[in-house]
Chains A and B, each alone.
Chain A
C-alpha cells in the first residue's frame, strides 16, 4: 500500500528522517514507535506532503507521490488524524465533518457522515456544537471521524492516546478495530508503546531519524532488550 524507499526529509536543510525504508502492507495496522524526536511525526507529515523530501521516494499503491502537493494526496485516499487533533476550532462538529468529506461528491459525503455518526453516536449528539468546546476524548473522536469522512484507503494517526483518559483511548481503539474490518490500512504513531504493541500487526522502531528495528509486533515484543534500549517501557 505505502512504501518509503531510502527516504529522507527535513526542515530547512536539516534532516529529520534519514534513509528510511518502510513497507506498510494493505489492510495492516503498522505502528511507528520511538522516543521523542525520532522522526515519527516528520515521517507522517512527509507522507501528507508537509515536510520537504530530501531524497528517496514515497510510493502509494505503486505510484510515486514524493512530490505531489497535499491537495492531491487526499484525493488518492490518504487521510490524517494529526497530533493534538487540530480540529477546525471555530467550526461546528458537523462542519468539521463536511470539510473532512470535501473531496467526495455531496451525496457520498452525506452517506459517509451518517456512518461516522453511527460509529461515534456522541458526535451526533454534539453535531451543532463548536468543536473547540468539546472534551479531549470527543475531539479525538471528531478528528478520527473527520479523517474517515474522506473514505481513505490509508489512515495516518499521530498520537492517538496523547492526553486522553484510558477509557477514551479504548473507545477510539474499538472504533478503529471496527473500521479496519473494511480493509483500511492504518499507520499509527504512538508514545504508549504497550498499547500500540497490543493492536499493531507490524512495528517499526525509529531513533534519531533512522529505523533501528522492525518486525511483527510479536517479534518486537520478544526482542525486549534492544527494544527497551531504544524506547523504554511505558
Chain B
C-alpha cells in the first residue's frame, strides 16, 4: 500500500512538472524587448532621434520607412532577413513586426526573432501588436507608407 502511495505521488509530481513547463513556454523575446506601437509611431512622427531599422516579417510593409521581408515562416524570407541583417551593425536597434494575427497564432515572429537573436543583435525589438496591424496601427492613424 505504501508503495502505491509513493508511485501516485511521483506520478502526480511528474504531471504537475509537465503542466508547469507547458504553461511557461519560453518565447525567444523577453518582455523588455516588446515595443509598444505608440512608442514607435511617436519616434517616426518626431523623426528627431536615431531611427531603428524597421523590418516587416509578415504580410505587408505597412509601417512608414519599413523594409519588406515577407512572412518569416517561409525559408526564403528568413534567408532574406539574414542577408539584410548581415549588413547591419550588431548594436543597431532593429524592430521586427508582423501583425497578421495575435501573437499566439502568428507563424512569423518566432522564427524571425530567433534568427535575430542567433545573429547576436543586442538591441532587437518586437513590435507588440496584440490583435493585428489594422486595429493596432492603421486604425490608430499611425504613419504608413
A binds B: no
User: Which A positions have Cβ atoms within 8 angstroms of B?
Assistant: none
User: Which B positions have Cβ atoms within 8 angstroms of A?
Assistant: none
